Amino acid sequence: MKKDIEEIIRNLGKISKSIGDKNVLVTGGAGFLGSWICEVLVEQGAKVTCLDNLASGLESNISSMRDKGNFKFIEHDITQPIFFDVPIDVVMHLASRASPFEFEKYPIQILKANTLGIWVALGIAKEHGARFLYTSTSEIYGDANEIPTTEEYRGNVNPIGPRSCYDEAKRCGESYVIAYKNQHGLDTRIARIFNTYGPRMRAEGVYGRVIPRFVEQALGNNPITIFGEGTQTRSFCYVTDQVEGLLKLAFSEGAKGEVVNIGSTKEITILSLAKLINELTNSSSKMEFHPLPKDDPQRRNPDISKAKKLLGWGPKVELEVGLMRTIERF
């Protein structure tokens, strides 16, 4: 992990220097992406306040930072008001459950994190005159029929389907951000995150996403659970690339007000992904086919030309390399 953090800092280039003197509030800071972000910020000398209600985040994700003088953890649900008497320069709002199994079990909490929660987080940014970064998602595009998908695409979302709590909440979250930008002149940035994977992503129960699930199944020589025929596609971005993109968007002077896709352009079917993970783990697992969940998007692949032009960002870690780094951590 230390090498991964160093790699992110190297790739941030001159942006990394503008991080050190900042006071940063990270909501969802004990989650998968939040904890990686906190680690880079802390390493660069920023004063980091990490807020998390530990609903899907884990204390173990932030344990290495707990004794650092420039890191503070507050267990708090961002849907409830909270006030700070210390300066805050940047608010990064990452708090939200994000796994499709959680959409079924906790739809109300997901809606609240991205509506009431973003309202509280934006209020903090307004009060402190802070910059605001929102982690939105490729899910705002729904089952996209424009592939690769650009930031201009308006989406194909089922407002009453099983994924609606996430898709519509994130769309509403974006609307909040734009409202605070327009009405109060806040410096805002919206990242639309496409599928990301790597160490700390959870495999178990309702938290499980496809890559950690397949890796754990393959390592245990258990059946690999393919939903549908596995012809649906995703484009998987390794966590170091994703975190670099998010930090470049948050800390670049020229990105004020922008909405940017951050993800990998390498599209792969879920069946090919399963076979690749089987190979990389030398597993004897068999493929086991299960019904495809309703509204599971058929294809997902971003157009990232805006991120390239605006931030000089593009993914660097090949899928096989990122998968091997993830497998080692399991």
Provide the annotated active-site residues.
166
Q: Alpha helices, DSSP H only, in the chain? A: 2-12, 32-43, 100-105, 107-113, 116-128, 164-184, 210-219, 239-251, 270-280, 305-311, 319-329
Measured from the CB atom, is 49 or 301 closer to ligand UDP?
Answer: 301
Contact window for ligand UDP (CB under 6 A) among 4-12, 13-21, 150-158, 227-235: 227-235
Residue 59: C-alpha distances to residues 53, 99, 248, 263 (Å): 10, 19, 26, 27
Sequence-distant (6+) residues with CB within 8 A of 13 are none
Residue 234 lies near ligand UDP (rule: CB under 6 A) = yes
Binder among 53, 196, 232, 278 for ligand UDP (CB under 6 A): 232
Residue 227 lies near ligand UDP (rule: CB under 6 A) = yes
Cβ at position 128, least distance to ligand UDP in Å: 33
Residue 150: C-alpha distances to residues 55, 60, 188, 295, 323 (Å): 32, 36, 19, 21, 26
The structure tokens listed for 239 are 């966590």
Contact window for ligand UDP (CB under 6 A) among 58-66, 148-156, 223-231, 319-327: 223-231
- For residue 223, whether the previous peptide bond is cis, meaning omega lies within 30 degrees of 0, is no
Cβ at position 277, least distance to ligand UDP in Å: 11
Measured from the CB atom, is 123 or 228 closer to ligand UDP?
Answer: 228
Binder among 150, 293, 295, 305 for ligand UDP (CB under 6 A): 293
Residue 136 lies near ligand UDP (rule: CB under 6 A) = no
Cβ at position 225, least distance to ligand UDP in Å: 4
From CA 177, how far away is CA 325, in angstroms rounded? Answer: 35
Report the SS3 class of residue 326: helix
Cβ at position 68, least distance to ligand UDP in Å: 32
Cβ at position 124, least distance to ligand UDP in Å: 28
Q: How far is CA 214 from the centre of its chain?
A: 19
Among residues 258, 247, 239, 252, the alpha carbon closest in space to that of 306 is found at 258
Sequence-distant (6+) residues with CB within 8 A of 135 are 33, 92, 93, 94, 96, 191, 193, 246
From CA 184, how far away is CA 169, in angstroms rounded? Answer: 22
Contact assessment for residue 168 and residue 157, using Cβ atoms and an 8 Å cutoff: yes
Contact window for ligand UDP (CB under 6 A) among 33-41, 89-97, 178-186, 205-213: 205-213
Binder among 26, 210, 304, 323 for ligand UDP (CB under 6 A): 210
From CA 271, how far away is CA 287, in angstroms rounded? Answer: 9
Dihedral of CA atoms 153, 158, 164, 168 in degrees, nearest 10, equals: 40
Site mask for ligand UDP (CB under 6 A), range 247-286, x = bound: -----------------------x----------------
Measured from the CB atom, is 180 or 194 closer to ligand UDP?
Answer: 194
Residue 295 lies near ligand UDP (rule: CB under 6 A) = no
Site mask for ligand UDP (CB under 6 A), range 50-89, x = bound: ----------------------------------------
Cβ at position 143, least distance to ligand UDP in Å: 11
Contact window for ligand UDP (CB under 6 A) among 43-51, 114-122, 221-229, 239-247: 221-229
Measured from the CB atom, is 84 or 227 closer to ligand UDP?
Answer: 227
The structure tokens listed for 245 are 């993109």
From CA 153, how far away is CA 12, in angstroms rounded? Answer: 28
Residues that bind ligand UDP (CB under 6 A): 99-100, 195, 209-210, 213, 225-227, 232, 234, 270, 293, 296
